[in-house]
Structure 1
Amino acid sequence: MPTQRTVPASESSAGPLTTPSILRRLAAFVYEGVLLFGVLFVSGWLYSTLTQLKDPGQQGTLGLQLFLLLVLAVYFVWFWSRGGQTVAMKAWHIRLMDREGRPVTQARALARFALAWLWFLPALLTAKLAGLHGGALFGLMFVGVLAYAALARLHPDRQFWHDAACGTRLVDWRPAR
């Protein structure tokens, strides 16, 4: 059974739990992407070296993709279930909690990770069906992410829909001085 981390008083947020602005959450999202580029680059290099995968068109690409997906899952579930913050979330003073303000369990973090792919799946499926690559794919992903973020404005607490489905929420979290 997953354990929940108790947050020490020195780490507690001052005041009521409020939802960060969508713009601030998107800034953390972009910063997370920059950090993950390095994590995935090193992970991909390690996988390619160990499996001797030299050509991306070679068989074994599916294995690489599944390995990178596993790396992402471990990264997010680890940070979210142990303190509720990734490195980018710490920089932007955002913390993940359950609806009641408690730390998130590993099971809930994993469910959130799986449902968070709603940011990308519509654009990826559209690109696949339309045969889009390169800049067109990037543009479609950009529009898809902005559209998904805008949907948070329809939620009563301005939370993202994968958070609503998982029973989680993003809150402002300033460390105590």
Structure 2
Amino acid sequence: MRQTQDEPMTDDTVPALPCPLWRRLLALLYDMFAVVAIAAVMGLLCQMATHGQLFDAHGQALTWWFQPLQYLTISAYFLISWLRGGQTLGMRPWRTRVTTPQGGILSWQQALIRLIAAWLPVFLLELQGIVGVRAAVWITLGAWGVWFAVALVDRRSRALHDILAGTEIRRMAS
């Protein structure tokens, strides 16, 4: 049975305690392992589909669809995780969950807003043609730093993408 957005989660694991930033960042670090694995499997499947002709000798993709497919696949991982239980693989060991302010599951709209807002710094990587790869990576990491630094001053420890989506990360009861 699927829970509605306004219903609180019924397993008594989502108290009103906001998740501290350090716990969120460690969960995100765990999720990066899942994202790398997803990207690697998708890259392998795409290489097989193109008979090894996915990249040229300089590492540039020869197809227009490869990078959008990577973004869609990684986005699907986060959306499915948030909509089905509120936890990614990285959130599970750190006992955190993304919820509505009332403790319920996210709506599709909230999940999409959260996803798009969290992805925004990635598009700064497109500056590499102007400032170089190294500088573009540092600019992107700096933007994400600002995104998460907001949690240090928000009374409910929400990052910028949570504020925009109307979501929260909560610690689960031990």
TM-score range, shorter chain: 0.7 to 0.9
Native 8 Å contact 1:96 1:168 kept in 2: yes
| CA distance in 1: counterparts of 2:173 and 2:122, whole angstroms | 29
Q: 2: CA distance between counterparts of 1:20 and 1:112?
A: 17
Distance across 1 between alignment mates of 2:116 and 2:36: 19
Deviation by residue 1:28-81 (Cα, 9 ceiling, x = unmatched): 111111221011100111122113334242430x31101111101211111100
Q: Does the CA-based 8 Å contact 1:77-1:113 persist in structure 2?
A: yes
Among residues 103, 114, 117, which one is paired with 1:112 in the alignment?
114
More helix by share: 1
Consecutive unaligned residues in structure 1, runs of 5 or more: none
Q: Number of matched residues?
A: 168
Distance 1:159 1:119, change over 3 A: farther
Q: 1:140 to 1:155 in 2, by over 3 A?
A: same
Paired with 1:102 and 1:58, the residues of 2 have a C-alpha distance of 41
2:148–2:160 contact (8 Å) kept in structure 1:
no
Give the structure 2 partner of residue 32 of structure 1.
31
SS of structure 2 residue aligned to 1:90: coil
TM value normalised by structure 1: 0.81
Under a length normalisation based on structure 2, what TM-score does the superposition of the two structures give?
0.82
Tell me how far apart the structure 2 counterparts of residues 106 and 172 of structure 1 sit (CA, whole Å).
22
Q: What pairs with 1:77-116 in structure 2 (closer than 5 Å)?
A: 77-116=79-118
Structure 2: 5+ residue stretches without partners:
none
Identical amino acids, percent of aligned pairs:
23
Pairwise CA RMSD: 2.5
Decide whether the 8 Å contact of 2:125 with 2:137 is kept in 1: no
User: Displaced runs of 4+ in structure 1, greater than 4 A?
Assistant: 5-9
Amino acid at match of 1:51: T
